[in-house]
Amino acid sequence: MNLQVNILEDNSVQYFKVVGEIDAFTAPVLKERLATVQSVQGLKAQLDLSEVDYMDSTGLGVFVGFYKAVTANGGHVKITGLNRRLNRLFEITGLDEIIDIEMRESEDNDGTI
Amino acid sequence: MAQYDYIEIKIPAKAQYVGVARLMISGIASRLGFTYDDIEDLKIASSEAITNAVQHAYGDSEDGEIVVGCAMYEERLEIMIADHGASFDFEETKKHIGPYSTTSEERFQREGGLGLYLMETLMDEVKIHHEEGVTVLMTKYLGRERGEENVKRSANS
């Protein structure tokens, strides 16, 4: 069980690539990494979750907190690369109505057992 | 008495072991023949209950334990998660599990929030017993259609 967060800056967009499992153990790591940029005014952040194998409410909680902080500072958060499972998690919790999310292309075979 | 195989694991109430219990549940669900989607649902629902126990059952200075018991029936999987630490008698504890009491629900709403909501959404039945610690009993039936998002993809090992 592991989590990696890579940060890249490209044309003023902060791009986060999250790799691994997001649960009670790893969510604090993710939260800490995101906290380093969330108070930047007008931040444009993109979170790529295409290589997240597992996520539960602890991950959703971190993303909601990040979204709130960034939005409060006039920024924007976009979450991309969602597989069918992660997308469903955002849907059933109603968070897809609030946060800008995008499913991974060719989402028919996600093999994340 | 109903026939079932039973597997139990006892983990320290620490976040780094939630994933260990999740792996066990994934293996058991796979053994029972749940679909890929159902296995993912079981992993999330049980992690939510275990996470609740890790975060709320014991004080910072306490070394607590969490018991995760899985009863494998022919047509369903029952998972019991108890945070009072001591090993429990599965049948005996089950007798005391009732429907929601307002108090336990409120407690979870306050502390668990999204977690309890996910447990209820992803499992077929969730019961919470709140007395000398919290015990959660959740059940998922094999081959039960639930919503349009169920995909027929076998995850038999």
Domains and CATH numbers, chain B: 9-141 (3.30.565.10)
Higher pLDDT, A33 or B93: A33
User: B109 — contact with chain A (CB < 8 Å)?
Assistant: no
Is the pLDDT at A108 greater than 70? The verdict is no
Higher pLDDT, B111 or B95: B95
pLDDT at B93: 67
User: B48 — contact with chain A (CB < 8 Å)?
Assistant: yes
DSSP code string of chain B = ----EEEEEEEESSGGGHHHHHHHHHHHHHHHT-BHHHHHHHHHHHHHHHHHHHHHSS-TT---EEEEEEEE-SSEEEEEEE-S-S---HHHHHHT--SPPHHHHHHHHHHTTHHHHHHHHHSSEEEEEESSSEEEEEEEETT---STT----B---
Residue pLDDT, tens place only, A6-57: 888 777 789 999 999 999 999 999 999 999 998 889 999 999 999 999 999 9
Nearest to B142 by CA among B28, B34, B9, B7: B34
Which residue of chain A is at minimal alpha-carbon distance from B157? A113
Domain ranges of chain A: 3-103
Is the pLDDT at A64 greater than 70? The verdict is yes
Q: Which residues of chain B neighbour A2 with C-beta distances below 8 Å?
A: none
Residue pLDDT, tens place only, B3-58: 899 999 999 999 999 999 999 999 999 999 999 999 999 999 999 999 999 988 77
Question: Quick check: helix, strand or coil at residue A76?
Answer: strand
Residue B153 in tokens: 């993809």
Residue with tokens 């960034």: A70
User: B114 — contact with chain A (CB < 8 Å)?
Assistant: yes
ipTM score for this prediction: 0.87
Residue-averaged pLDDT of chain A: 89
Q: What is the mean pLDDT of residues A67-95?
A: 94
- Distance separating alpha carbons of residues B11 and B9, to the nearest angstrom: 6
Is the pLDDT at B109 greater than 70? The verdict is no
- Distance separating alpha carbons of residues B44 and B81, to the nearest angstrom: 13
User: A48 — contact with chain B (CB < 8 Å)?
Assistant: no
- Distance separating alpha carbons of residues A1 and B22, to the nearest angstrom: 11
CA distance B16 to chain A (A): 5
User: A41 — contact with chain B (CB < 8 Å)?
Assistant: no
User: A31 — contact with chain B (CB < 8 Å)?
Assistant: no
Domain spanning A3-103: which superfamily?
STAS domain (3.30.750.24)
Q: Which residues of chain A neighbour B19 with C-beta distances below 8 Å?
A: 1, 21, 23, 25
Whether residues A23 and B22 touch (CB distance < 8 A) is answered with yes
For B94-109, b/e burial (b = at least 16 CB within 10 A) is beeeeebeeebeebbe
CA angle B116-B76-B106, nearest 5°? Answer: 15
Which residue of chain A is at minimal alpha-carbon distance from B149? A88
Whether residues A57 and B118 touch (CB distance < 8 A) is answered with yes
Is the pLDDT at A93 greater than 60? The verdict is yes
Whether residues B117 and A1 touch (CB distance < 8 A) is answered with no
Residue pLDDT, tens place only, B48-77: 999 999 988 777 777 889 999 999 999 999
